[in-house]
Structure 1
């Protein structure tokens, strides 16, 4: 009778069986291991399995025995760590539903089938906003490649717009600059407030800019060497993030704000521990920060109602008043 070719894979199948079917709480007896190997068309004697288990231990697999059962004790990732990874994937807005499902399946493969069921219970939080751009993963890869190669990229940049005049749903891509391609020197990628951003240098405007990666389309690497090195030699990503993200789109200003005392934690979370604070009175403190003055910044201030006040500059305070009047006018009827 010809020898089963799967016999040569016996050790690999044994490792797979232990990794997939055992953990601290679930083991397999020797007869169960022999039966599982039989499912792969592999026959074995009890004595050879003892030798194989020892070889796996020498290899580095933490095979342990309790009573008559063998199991994998320590793994690269423990169950609590895998739960953290699953939660991070599931809650990330920049990862689409489809890719979230694919990634979570891969994370589950790092656990036994028994622990994977516990991970699946972490997935049932489904009503979270996800990006609609499935190509973000390829975008990130291309940007990394351009950064490594030190070249510029070209791309088109879009916003989601509402258009009920066409079939296929109201959401349509609306390209900025009438679809004209951007040509930017990429220098870094950062993840802020659940969104991926590319930080790059716009040589034509001679300034640092950032772009949402999920809104970049048709990215191409160019043969042109990137520029802006002198700006990024002294670039502080943490400082840039504090000033820009969530409040982007306007001129940078040094703004003095007054907060009620219980908002100290909010200020530190937003601007970091290095922000300058001073006492205003028993109930308030002042903070001096650098921000991008924009509608997003005004919205952030609006969110605190009467608990935050812009003290200076005057034109920034007036800008907030103008924005408030504009909103109020919508309800004047």
Structure 2
């Protein structure tokens, strides 16, 4: 009998607390009658009253040493609501927006993050996390493999060990062999909507090298290694990281055709996603049509490849690019 009584008390406690957390917030408090209705909706037939709920709430708050579930009386009704002590609603909203803006995470992973974040708040606030625009770019498809690699990397950073890995950038060459790289991992960071591994340079210990994390494969810890960074090196690494900048500007989305050499194929995927379909012009040149915002940032990105990526289609795009060069480089240099 005692076991059944303890079990029933446990079910009552869990049900009441869970229903308050999931169905209330500061703007949407819940009454005893509403809690009772929700209990019936769950298929339970036990009854509650104010005394029981008050006791459950006091025990819950005492455990957390804080008033997590608040109560007040207005008129004849006693109201209860849950106040999330860990995360503000708009903080959570901003985190989800950051996750969705990343080109690294798969759509499934983004949806999982959103669902977990929604579950931290009442049903009344879950609509705040809905996304209206689908800006997802298909790149990484096997997040489980990635997380396995990330787990090894973070373990090596924690244990201050070097790692050995293959850097498998996308290539138009089949069966390309990838050499093993052995370096000291510094940290993992998001930059330019991508996820990077930062490693200490092998030739210059005061510089760091960035690797796209979804291209880092077959990671293993070098057990007989020992990694230490002094203050000067950490300062140098931070300066390098601060230079991983991304420029924003005005413009509109247009279809544009680009020609590029095979050695920048991985950069094309970084920029436009995995679902591009390059056409081979000759052994040294490919072309592809893409949709992108055409602005000064885009032109600067093209310039950065020193001719290995060029605008190939209509005269309008070529003229706009020439005008950008004249205004920002040629005329400016002549004026200087």
**TM-score computed with the length of structure 1 as normaliser:** 0.64
Q: 1:150 offset after TM fit, Å?
A: 1.4
Structure 2 unaligned regions, length at least 5:
248-263, 265-295, 310-320
Q: 1:197 offset after TM fit, Å?
A: 1.6
Q: 1:40 offset after TM fit, Å?
A: 6.3
2:279 corresponds to: none
Q: 1:55 aligns with which of 59, 76, 96?
A: 59
2:256 corresponds to: none
Q: Which stretch shifts more, 111-120 or 199-208?
A: 199-208
1:84 corresponds to: 94
1:126 corresponds to: 134
Rate the CA distance shift 1:227–1:73 in 2: closer, same or farther, 3 A: closer
Rate the CA distance shift 1:296–1:148 in 2: closer, same or farther, 3 A: farther
1:282 corresponds to: none
Does residue 145 of structure 1 match 2:118? no
Rate the CA distance shift 1:197–1:154 in 2: closer, same or farther, 3 A: same
Q: Which has the higher strand share?
A: 1
Mapping for residues 240-279 of structure 1, pairs under 5 Å: 240-243=240-243
Q: 1:31 offset after TM fit, Å?
A: 2.2
- Is the CA contact 2:156–2:162 (under 8 Å) kept in the aligned structure 1? yes
Taking the aligned partners of 1:236 and 1:297, their CA distance within structure 2 comes to 31
Q: 1:181 offset after TM fit, Å?
A: 1.6
Q: 1:304 offset after TM fit, Å?
A: 4.8
Taking the aligned partners of 1:84 and 1:119, their CA distance within structure 2 comes to 9
Q: 1:303 offset after TM fit, Å?
A: 10
CA displacement 1:141-182 (0-9 Å, x = unmatched): 32121111111111111122357xxxxxxxx8x75xx22221
Q: 1:106 aligns with which of 110, 116, 119?
A: 116
Rate the CA distance shift 1:17–1:184 in 2: closer, same or farther, 3 A: same
Taking the aligned partners of 2:209 and 2:169, their CA distance within structure 1 comes to 17
Q: 1:221 offset after TM fit, Å?
A: 1.2
State the SS of the aligned residue for 1:83: helix
Q: 1:7 offset after TM fit, Å?
A: 2.0
Mapping for residues 272-291 of structure 1, pairs under 5 Å: none
Rate the CA distance shift 1:94–1:184 in 2: closer, same or farther, 3 A: same
Taking the aligned partners of 2:18 and 2:323, their CA distance within structure 1 comes to 54
1:72 corresponds to: 81
Taking the aligned partners of 2:194 and 2:95, their CA distance within structure 1 comes to 17
State the SS of the aligned residue for 2:124: helix
Rate the CA distance shift 1:57–1:110 in 2: closer, same or farther, 3 A: same
Does residue 116 of structure 1 match 2:115? no
CA displacement 1:228-263 (0-9 Å, x = unmatched): 74696353344213445679x9xxxxxxxxxxxxxx
- Is the CA contact 1:28–1:71 (under 8 Å) kept in the aligned structure 2? yes
1:167 corresponds to: none
- Is the CA contact 1:246–1:297 (under 8 Å) kept in the aligned structure 2? no
CA displacement 1:115-157 (0-9 Å, x = unmatched): 112322xx23223325315233333332121111111111111
- Is the CA contact 2:166–2:218 (under 8 Å) kept in the aligned structure 1? yes
2:46 corresponds to: 43
State the SS of the aligned residue for 1:154: strand
Q: 1:16 aligns with which of 11, 15, 18?
A: 18
1:188 corresponds to: 187
Does residue 307 of structure 1 match 2:327? yes
Q: 1:194 offset after TM fit, Å?
A: 1.2
